[in-house]
Amino acid sequence: MAQPISEKKRIYKLHKKNKVKLSGWDIAFNVFNYTILTLFTVACIFPFYYLFINTISSNELVRLGAIQLFPKEIHLENYIQVLKIDGIAEAALVSVGRTVLGTIWTVAGCAFLGYLVTKREMWLRTLWYRLIIVTMYFSAGLIPWYMNLRMLGFVDNFFVYIIPGLVSPYNVILVKTFIEGVPSSLEESATIDGAGYFTVFCKVIVPLITPILATLCIFSAVGQWNSFTDTLMLMPSGNYYTLQFLLYKYQREAQSLAALVRTTQDVGAISNLAIKQTALSVQMTVAMVVVIPILLVYPIFQRYFVKGIMIGAVKG
């Protein structure tokens, strides 16, 4: 008696039977497509790779432009010395704080506002929504923005990193469009049971819109981490500097900073040209220190990112 075919073999045979044979043009298109995408991927990754290998290679060889594809005379002295620079630890704490708190409050604010503008019973719903959309296309400008925040008392105030960014029109649109795809019967069931708007939002809507919330987290976290203009304009006393602002500052003062770093090294280390700090080595190392943390955020939310954007873009 023949042995029964396992489920795995049955699925394999079914797949093989239904497999569509590709024509020559299809194969050529796939090869072309994968080649272009591979080149594009390499073009995106290579700048970070090049920056990294230059920070761990001999500083003298880097100065001479001898590092191209592979590191030479590997060392970690650049990172050790840069992390000793005054203000780096405080700036890292401020950057992490503004990124975490700013992301949480921005996502919460945009998500709840996006939910509210889907409610037909909201007072002047259409007007408020249109006013939000208008701000995407028209801005008062940099000077009114600065004067407004100054009059509100946000100069040298940590909360300037969080409160002005509570609402992002684009994020509100994404959330609104996503929520409109959620079956209304779920909300109606909770409302019949006596739940209010806030309870429905927290217990019914939020678990269903996780993909779009993850997408908003990426947008907000990257924006918060990379921002330095607000620090430049609103922190004249030097309080609450961020890593990105220090990177901007150190890029302008790389020569003097390199001299400062060299003074923290012992005489034996300075005599070794491979690890002797230069303006270029300091620039690259500070840039890498600033970039690495935000690069680690994307993989955490990547599986939600595409789903959130695609579902949020189904309706106009």
Burial of 285 from C-beta contacts in 10 A (0-12 / 13-18 / 19+): buried
pTM > 0.75: no
Of 40 and 6, more confident: 40
Q: Report residue 38's pLDDT band, with 50, 70 and 90 as the boundaries.
A: very high
CATH 1.10.3720.10 location in the chain: 86-243
Segment 229-245 mean pLDDT: 85
Region 222-251: mean pLDDT is 84
Pick the CATH number of 86-243 from 1.10.3720.10, 1.10.1740.10, 3.30.930.10, 2.120.10.30: 1.10.3720.10
Taking Cα atoms as reference points, which of 161, 156, 310, 179 lies closest to residue 235? 156
Cα–Cα distance for residue pair 76/87, rounded to 1 Å: 20
* SS3 of the chain: helix, strand, coil, percent, to 5: 70, 0, 30
SS (H, E, C) 165-215: HCCCHHHHHHHHHHHCCCCHHHHHHHHHCCCCHHHHHHHHHHHHCHHHHHH
Close Cβ partners of 94 (under 8 Å, ≥ 6 residues apart): 158, 240, 241, 242, 243
Strands (E), 25-170: none
Residue 269's pLDDT is what? 47
Q: Provide the pLDDT for residue 13.
A: 62
User: pLDDT tens, 2-31?
Assistant: 445 566 666 656 555 556 666 778 788 888
CA dist., res. 10 & res. 268, Å (int): 70
Count of CB atoms within 10 A of residue 273's CB? 13
CA dihedral sign, ordered 306, 310, 311, 316: positive
In the chain, how long is the greatest CA-to-CA distance?
A: 88
CA distance readout (Å), 168 to 70, 103, 122, 135? 42, 11, 20, 9
Of 9-13, 87-91, 92-96, 209-213, the least confident: 9-13
- Token digits of residue 178: 């996503």
| Spatial CA neighbour of 61 closest among 282, 247, 252, 278 | 278
